[in-house]
Structure 1
Amino acid sequence: MARLLVCYGSTEGQTATVAERIGDVLDERGHEVTLANLKHPPDGLSPSESDGVVVAASIHAGSHQPYVGAFVRDHLEELARLPSAFVSVSLSAAHADEADRAPAGEMLEAFLDETGWEPDETLTVAGALRYSQYGLLKRFAMKRIAGRASGDTDTSRDYEYTDWDAVEAFAAGFASLVDREA
């Protein structure tokens, strides 16, 4: 049984939900999982106390949460020694057209370039439109963005685009990687 750290940054909650699902899959595969919100990490949180690490972050206004990048940079040496994975959650990943999904992959690569991290595995996954959680201005802006992308614009409800099968397969693959490394 490996000790695995699943840590994340989440603005509206979808990335936290993705991280929880990853943690559940890893737990079901017999691993001891610690889940940590990097916005408010527990004192002394360190990847060195784990046998593998998954970091998840969401994209807002063209970048991932700065505090997630700071965590990765602060622990780069530890992450390089352990099996590690990065999950990037973005509405851009929800597009049906591959060309329209490309920015999600580009932002994932930009995060890795900015931090200098080379994780063993990466995943871009679609997030959610949480109209019910947005203030008036953000709701209006997100409706315009969604409309330009031929997306969902009914602001009376929320939309979830996450491919849970892909998330679970990714987590199972990471568990296998950790098992091979052990």
Structure 2
Amino acid sequence: MGKALLLYSSREGQTVKILRHIENELKETYQCALMDLHDMPEINFHNYNKIMIGASVRYGHFNKKLYQFIDINLAALIAVKSVFFCVNLMARKPEKDRPETNMYMKKFLSLSPWQPELLDVFAGALYYPRYKFFDCMMIKLIMGITGGETDITKEVEYTRWDRVKQLSERFGSL
């Protein structure tokens, strides 16, 4: 059985939810370790056959700890088979849910010295009732501008789980 490291940079938990789904898909062939890269864990990368990093976008940006983690661990990330996916609400639109069409993925690839072998993009989720007042109003404004859900009583999950399963399969055969 192989070993896979699944790292996340998540703000509201959807990225973790996606990685847990991937972990479940891989359980027959990989022993997975799930870690928060915001904790800046010291990792022995030689213990893993593959690495996947999932990161969410909030207000148009990835968390700066994602880039710090990459900078600190660049040599190790380059030396192992690796995958990166991002989670953002822009990807709820079919024309923006692919690495080559998603502006956040393009931005990541232009800023990051790490260029993973495999990339993907997933739509996240809206959890209006869970947000603090300011975040709720800002996200509602952004969603209104971009033609999304603005009812603050709703929770809407946009993640396409069939696409997550496809990434799991591609990661497993990488």
Equivalent residues, number: 174
Q: Which runs of 5+ in 2 are unaligned?
A: none
- d(CA) in 2 for partners of 1:83, 1:100: 23
Which residue matches 1:91? 89
SS of aligned partner of 1:156? coil
Which residue matches 1:34? 33
Q: Which runs of 5+ in 1 are unaligned?
A: 178-182
Deviation at 1:101, TM superposition (A): 7.6
Deviation at 1:46, TM superposition (A): 3.6
Select 1:120's aligned residue among 107, 117, 122.
Answer: 117
SS of aligned partner of 2:39? coil
Deviation at 1:10, TM superposition (A): 0.5
Deviations 1:62-96 (A, max 9, x none): 21111122111211111111110001000000014
SS of aligned partner of 2:173? helix
- Kindly report which structure 2 residues correspond to 1:31-180, keeping only aligned pairs within 5 A, or say none: 31-42=30-41, 44-96=42-94, 98=95, 105-177=102-174
Deviation at 1:123, TM superposition (A): 0.4
Q: What letter matches 2:51 in structure 1?
A: V
Q: What letter matches 1:139 in structure 2?
A: C
Which residue matches 1:23? 23
- d(CA) in 1 for partners of 2:127, 2:99: 22
Residue 104 to residue 72, structure 1, CA distance change in 2 (3 Å): farther
Deviation at 1:60, TM superposition (A): 0.9
SS of aligned partner of 1:32? strand
Deviation at 1:110, TM superposition (A): 2.0
Residue 46 to residue 66, structure 1, CA distance change in 2 (3 Å): farther
Q: What is the TM-score normalised by the length of structure 1?
A: 0.87
- d(CA) in 1 for partners of 2:67, 2:101: 17
Asked if the contact 1:38/1:67 (under 8 Å) is kept, the reply is: yes
Higher strand content, 1 or 2 = 2
Runs of 4+ in 1 over 4 A off after TM superposition: 99-104
Q: What letter matches 2:76 in structure 1?
A: E
SS of aligned partner of 1:22? helix
SS of aligned partner of 1:153? coil
Q: What is the TM-score normalised by the length of structure 2?
A: 0.91
**Identity over the aligned pairs, expressed in percent?**
30
Deviations 1:90-112 (A, max 9, x none): 0000014x269889722212223
| Aligned-CA RMSD value | 2.0
